[in-house]
Amino acid sequence: MTKVSLTDDVLADALCAIALDAGAAALEIYAGDFKTDEKNDTSPVTEADRLGEEIILAGLKNFAPGIPVLAEESASDGDIPEDLGPQFFLVDPLDGTREFVNRTGEFTVNIALIEDGKSVFGVVYAPASNLIFAGGREGAWKALIDEDGTMGPRAPITARTAPSKGLIAVASRSHRSPETDEYLNGLSVADFTAAGSSLKFCLVAEGVADIYPRFGRTMEWDTGAGQAVLEAAGGRVVTHPENEPLLYGKKSRGYDNPHFIAWGKN
């Protein structure tokens, strides 16, 4: 399968527009009463997850019809491309469904482009916060979204070097584990903050936090976009304890991830 050559500018224009459409649909549902169902793995799913994925898949088909897509809700239904090849999109239409259900606002729309196992471009849109993050080969940035859905100027973001006075750690609001606490207790951590969804990657990417450890189970669509943003900002995401880059297209694992640590600059 031949890879399609796509620049950061082309990807940003297309993927941000698609994410904004999906996010707008999610906000409409979020503003009203909605039903929460349970998937086979007991995780929650809502109309916003399903509708968001429909919007994203349609947008990607129009934008790059030759590139396969691995998307959360389709995968949950057993619809996974037989051969993803060296280039594919990863889609999580609503990361942080528990945050959506609990109305914390910390949910995101995620689209990433994977090439040769690496996440090379990603978009993370937080509709309730009116913030969108993106990152690729040419750096990372964020922008505010106006009330009419228009994206404002792109502001570059950069991960920071860990301060000598201690790390600021960020971990899951809904999935924090004892293993996470044990790992952080072995580091020089000055402060801790909790956050939902892929926003944890973005906090490290913009220098608000220094480390995000994850020892619970995650799927590739949970991490692809956030990893692209963080690495474009100068950070890195490595498996634990191997300390190897977190890669994608892991069919033999069922597309789940090993434990990982997301770092700022260090």
Share of the chain above pLDDT 70, in %: 98
What average pLDDT does range 169-178 have in this prediction? 76
Domain assignment present for residue 70? The answer is yes
Asked if 175 and 251 sit in the same domain, the reply is yes
CA atoms within 13 A on the CB side of 266: 18
SS3 104: coil
Instruction: Show the domain range for 204.
Output: 167-263
Asked if 123 and 185 sit in the same domain, the reply is no
Asked if 58 and 123 sit in the same domain, the reply is yes
Provide the pLDDT for residue 174: 61
Domain assignment present for residue 161? The answer is no
Provide the pLDDT for residue 176: 67
Provide the pLDDT for residue 159: 98
Asked if 149 and 185 sit in the same domain, the reply is no
Q: Is residue 120 a contact partner of residue 228, using CB atoms and an 8 Å limit?
A: yes
* Structural element, H or E, at residue 120: strand 118-126
pLDDT-derived band of residue 2, with 50, 70 and 90 as boundaries?
Answer: confident
Domain assignment present for residue 1? The answer is no
Q: What is the CATH number of the domain that holds 254?
A: 3.40.190.80
Domain assignment present for residue 185? The answer is yes
pTM value > 0.85 = yes
Provide the pLDDT for residue 175: 63
Q: Is residue 20 a contact partner of residue 110, using CB atoms and an 8 Å limit?
A: no
Q: What average pLDDT is seen over the chain?
A: 95
Q: Is residue 249 a contact partner of residue 222, using CB atoms and an 8 Å limit?
A: no
